[in-house]
């Protein structure tokens, strides 16, 4: 197992190199970073432009350029953003922290309630409760987040203010403008609406995964064996049913979490929530190569990492799978 | 007179299907005596599995089950779920056809046996684990202490069926119902599994109900036979009497279709089993019976004593004497 993990980690290095090279190519061909720089800084001197080209590895030769970029990236010689000459790492770090906070909260809430709803639905397939949960899940999936977000903003901010004098939840940002330092309660208040929006999607998706997975398991022969043992319904459900039904669900969850690191673009955009998604939208809009490349590296690395976690959890939950 | 451990009387099981109610079991009478091996034969769809799933209380609640099933004198039909749970796995155990999928793939073999033990006896985990190894040894699995720690996928089909038998007999039940325990296995393994079942029956005095559509298997191991057709029993008797002079035309047909030394051609029963949503009136076998007469279409025959057998055929007394099949 340990050897497998080490080997996978070792393999992720060439994978990362290859994928970042492809991303580098795509950005260079698709956005022309040098032009973007000139556009944002119209009065930049020749020397300044050359300096920008050097530190970002934007040489005419793509391979040489990539190697140069890679060297600077690894040694920490990161170029500042083209707009406002901000340092990239602090911006990226904040965006990651914000997205992870929102993503984790929404995932924990969403998967918890999603699994419960899925199990309740599967216990009596076709029953009234099943129909209700299925319909709700369908509605939850079909309402696009920007619509549900606007509805919630209207309810908790606009109307709440009209009815009770002040809004219950703020509708944008992480803290009020000008706030400094850490304030958990304030932060939770700001996170509430975006968390609900993302969690609704997750609940809807996972209740369906869990329902169909559990229904599959419930009809299997070993469940009949379990029933013929005379053990309690509860034990049959948990030890035999859920234990098996969770195997595919956990694997999907690990992969999903990996992609959440990429940001919850729509939700972050609506709530002006400064996470990875918003970071990407802004820097892509500006053609800000120095901001974009490290973002890409983080995304690729997290997808690789969570793929590994998915495989490990699969093997851990299912003794039939051996990691070689 | 031996003691009856299981007495089934007038058992009916009806499913609701899209094409209407389907009465899969239409009034079964059957006794199982302590320690005996009763064979239950019949074509596919004759209601063998459903009868015993009903006995175990394993049919979904919406399936209609009526009649009487007495296990050691206690009524099981209509009993509470709680009571049925205490019966299942303790007094009455059932093993199923497909050993490959009957064990939970994510739990260790030893744990799956211990679970059965601990749900009906107050045993510490350690004692249960020890007993589980003894059971593995009883059903003929070598190196029980290593094997107990393995998972089902590390066992062959025959070995898995042994494990399932170990689970079923863990609490020394009065009756072990084996629903086609060897059908999915290859021939040499089949013989081994039958031996294990016979050994269990001998050693613990467990009564065994062996469901199969293979009369050859019945001939080898059973004491008595119950022949089923279209949800009814059509003939019962000891193995010797039944093979000696079967009287019901369906039983005769089954025996005539058995491969035997010195016989070149097999004579299968013509026609198909009936559609159970709308079974033939009267004797359900009449469309396929060589001896059918008008009376067979109107009168549903019940089991009556005929010679040494119990036979459900209105014309039993008029039929020619059958050839011997021993
Ligand atoms: N869940 C169910 N819903 C509807 N009909 C069913 C159900 N289970 C069984 N039946 C019907 O009941 C009848 C008897 O089935 P059963 O499984 O008892 O047959 P069997 O004698 O065990 O046959 P086999 O040798 O194939 O196992 C069949 O006609 C079958 O279609
Ligand atoms: S009752 Fe009639 S149809 Fe049925 S088995 Fe006897 S002879 Fe044949
Ligand atoms: Mg069957």
Q: Looking at residue A320, what DSSP letter applies?
A: T
Alpha-helical regions (H) of A143-183: 145-153, 160-164
On the 0-12 / 13-18 / 19+ scale of CB atoms within 10 A, B290 is exposed
Q: Touching check for B79 and chain A: CB below 8 Å?
A: no
For strands B309-311 and B304-306, give the pairing.
antiparallel
Mean pLDDT across B51-75: 95
Among candidate residues B272, B222, B228, the one with its CA nearest the CA of residue B243? B222
Among candidate residues B244, B264, B269, the one with its CA nearest the CA of residue B321? B244
Cβ(B285) – ligand 2 distance below 6 Å? yes
Q: Touching check for B16 and chain A: CB below 8 Å?
A: no
Question: How many whole angstroms separate alpha carbon B28 and alpha carbon B39?
Answer: 15
Return the pLDDT at B265. Answer: 66
Q: Considering CB atoms only, which of B88, B98, B107 is closest to A228?
A: B88
Q: Touching check for A240 and chain B: CB below 8 Å?
A: yes
Alpha-helical regions (H) of B169-269: 187-204, 215-221, 239-244, 249-256
B97 CA distance to ligand 1 centroid (A)?
13
Q: Considering CB atoms only, which of B58, B116, B164 is closest to A227?
A: B58
Mean pLDDT across B143-147: 96
Return the pLDDT at B91. Answer: 97
Tokens of B230: 């279209």
**Closest ligand (CA of B318):** 2
Mean pLDDT across B147-168: 96
Q: Touching check for A322 and chain B: CB below 8 Å?
A: no
B96: distance to nearest CA of chain A, Å?
Answer: 8
* Cα four-point dihedral sign A192, A198, A202, A204: positive
State the closest ligand 2 atom to the C-alpha of B289, by its place in the atom list counted from 1. 8
Tokens of B51: 């009868």
Q: Touching check for B153 and chain A: CB below 8 Å?
A: yes
Q: Average per-residue pLDDT in chain B?
A: 92
- Taking CA atoms, A29 is separated from A22, A26, A58, A317, B73, in Å, by 10, 5, 11, 44, 85
Mean pLDDT across B134-140: 96
Is residue B289 a contact partner of residue B296, using CB atoms and an 8 Å limit? Answer: yes
Which has more confidence, B326 or A157?
Answer: A157
Task: Give the mean pLDDT per block of 10 residues along chain A (324 residues).
Answer: 89 93 92 89 90 91 94 92 90 93 93 96 92 93 87 86 83 79 82 91 95 95 96 95 96 89 84 92 92 94 93 92 81
Return the pLDDT at A233. Answer: 92
Query: What is the four-CA torsion angle of A122, A127, A132, A134, rounded to 10 degrees?
Result: 40
The residue of chain A nearest to residue B104, with distances taken between CA atoms, is A222
B163: distance to nearest CA of chain A, Å?
Answer: 12
Tokens of A148: 């549900």
Question: How many whole angstroms separate alpha carbon A222 and alpha carbon B94?
Answer: 13
Question: How many whole angstroms separate alpha carbon A165 and alpha carbon A255?
Answer: 43
Tokens of A237: 């459900």
**Is B1 a residue whose pLDDT tops 60?**
no
Cβ(B96) – ligand 1 distance below 6 Å? no
Three-state secondary structure string covering A233-293: HHHHHHHHHHHHHHHHHHHHHHHHHHHHCCCCHHHHHHCCCCCHHHHHHHHHHHCCHHHHH
Tokens of B325: 């099949």
B178 CA distance to ligand 1 centroid (A)?
16
Phi, psi of B160 (to 5 degrees): -65, -40
Phi, psi of B5 (to 5 degrees): -90, -30
Q: Give tens-digit pLDDT for B108-124.
A: 999 999 999 999 999 99
Question: How many whole angstroms separate alpha carbon A207 and alpha carbon A42?
Answer: 53
State the closest ligand 2 atom to the C-alpha of B286, by its place in the atom list counted from 1. 3
- Compute the count of residue pairs across chains A and B with CB atoms less than 8 Å apart: 71
* C-beta atoms of B119 and A230 within 8 A: yes
For strands B92-95 and B175-179, give the pairing.
parallel
* Cα–Cα–Cα angle for B2, B7, B8, rounded to 5 degrees: 150
CB atoms within 10 A of CB B319: 16
Q: Tell the residue number behind the tokens 């490990």, with chain if given.
A: A312
Question: How many whole angstroms separate alpha carbon A284 and alpha carbon B213?
Answer: 71
CB atoms within 10 A of CB A60: 8
Question: What are the DSSP calls for A68-114, one per residue?
Answer: HHHHHHHTT-PPPPTTTT--HHHHHHHHHHHHHHHHHHHHHHHHHHH
Tokens of B201: 């029956």
Return the pLDDT at B232. Answer: 96
Mean pLDDT across B253-280: 82
**Closest ligand (CA of B45):** 1
Q: Which residues of A touch B85 (CB under 8 A)?
A: 230-232
Which helix (H) or strand (E) element contains residue B14? strand B4-17
* Cα four-point dihedral sign A58, A64, A68, A73: positive
Nearest CA to ligand 1 atom 25: B44
Q: Give tens-digit pLDDT for B171-219.
A: 999 999 999 999 888 888 999 999 999 999 999 999 999 999 888 889 9
Is residue A99 a contact partner of residue A277, using CB atoms and an 8 Å limit? Answer: yes
* Cα four-point dihedral sign B49, B50, B51, B57: positive
Question: What are the DSSP calls for B25-91, one per residue?
Answer: EEEEEEEEETT-EEEEE--TTSSHHHHHHHHHT-S-TTSEEEEEEEETTEE-TT--HHHHHHHBTTT
């Amino acid at each position: 197992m340990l050897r497998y993990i080490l080997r996978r980690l070792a393999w992720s290095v060439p994978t990362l190199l290859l994928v970042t090279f492809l991303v580098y190519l795509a950005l260079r061909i698709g956005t022309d970073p040098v032009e973007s720089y000139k556009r944002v800084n119209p009065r930049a001197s020749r020397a300044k432009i050359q300096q920008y080209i050097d530190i970002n590895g934007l040489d005419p030769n793509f391979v040489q350029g990539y190697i140069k970029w890679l060297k600077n990236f690894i040694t920490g010689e990161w170029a500042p953003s083209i707009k406002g000459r901000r340092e990239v790492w602090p911006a990226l770090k904040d965006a990651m922290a914000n997205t992870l906070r929102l993503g984790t909260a929404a995932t924990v809430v969403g998967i918890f309630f999603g699994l419960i709803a899925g199990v309740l639905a599967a216990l009596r397939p076709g029953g009234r409760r099943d129909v209700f949960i299925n319909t709700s899940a369908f509605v939850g999936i079909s309402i696009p987040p920007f619509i549900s977000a606007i509805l919630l903003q209207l309810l908790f901010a606009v109307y709440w203010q009209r009815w009770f004098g002040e809004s219950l939840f703020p509708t944008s940002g992480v803290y009020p403008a000008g706030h400094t330092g850490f304030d958990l309660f304030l932060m939770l208040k700001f996170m509430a609406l975006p968390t609900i929006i993302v969690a609704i999607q997750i609940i809807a998706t996972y209740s369906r995964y869990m329902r169909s997975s559990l229904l599959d398991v419930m009809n299997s022969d070993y469940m009949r064996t379990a029933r013929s043992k005379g053990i309690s319904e509860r034990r049959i459900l948990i030890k035999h049913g859920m234990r098996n039904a969770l195997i595919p669900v956990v694997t999907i969850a690990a992969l999903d979490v990996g992609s959440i690191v990429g940001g919850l673009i729509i939700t972050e955009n609506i709530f002006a929530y400064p996470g990875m998604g918003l970071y990407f939208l802004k820097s892509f809009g500006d053609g800000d190569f120095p901001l974009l490349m490290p973002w890409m590296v983080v995304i690729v690395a997290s997808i690789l990492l969570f793929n590994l976690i998915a495989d490990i959890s699969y093997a851990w939950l299912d003794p039939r799978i051996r990691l070689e | 007179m031996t003691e009856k451990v299981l007495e089934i009387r007038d058992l009916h099981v009806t499913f609701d299907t899209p094409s209407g109610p389907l009465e899969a079991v239409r009034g079964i009478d059957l006794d199982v005596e302590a320690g005996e091996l009763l064979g239950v034969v019949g074509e596919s769809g004759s209601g063998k599995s459903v009868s015993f799933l009903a006995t175990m209380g394993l049919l979904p609640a919406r399936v209609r089950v009526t009649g009487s099933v007495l296990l050691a004198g206690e009524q099981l039909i209509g009993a509470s779920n709680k009571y049925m749970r205490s019966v299942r796995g303790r007094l009455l155990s059932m093993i199923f056809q497909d050993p490959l999928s009957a064990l939970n793939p994510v739990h260790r073999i030893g744990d799956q046996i211990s679970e059965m033990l601990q749900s009906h006896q107050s045993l510490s985990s350690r004692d249960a684990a020890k007993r589980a190894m003894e059971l593995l040894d009883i059903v003929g699995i070598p190196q029980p202490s290593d094997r107990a720690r393995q998972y089902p996928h590390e066992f062959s089909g025959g070995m898995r069926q042994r494990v399932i038998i170990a689970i079923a007999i863990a609490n020394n039940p009065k009756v072990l119902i084996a629903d086609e325990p060897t059908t999915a296995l290859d021939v040499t393994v089949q013989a081994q599994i039958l031996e294990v079942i016979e050994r269990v029956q001998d050693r613990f005095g467990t009564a065994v109900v062996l469901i199969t559509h293979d009369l050859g298997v019945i001939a080898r191991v059973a004491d008595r036979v119950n022949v089923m057709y279209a949800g009814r029993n059509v003939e019962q008797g000891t193995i010797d009497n039944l093979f000696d002079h079967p009287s019901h035309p369906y039983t005769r047909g089954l025996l005539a279709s058995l491969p035997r030394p010195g016989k070149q051609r097999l004579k299968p029963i013509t026609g198909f089993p009936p559609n159970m949503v709308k079974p033939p009136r009267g004797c359900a076998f009449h469309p396929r019976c060589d001896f059918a007469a008008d009376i067979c279409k109107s009168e549903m025959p019940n089991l009556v004593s005929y010679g040494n057998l119990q036979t459900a055929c209105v014309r039993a007394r008029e039929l020619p004497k059958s050839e011997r099949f021993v």
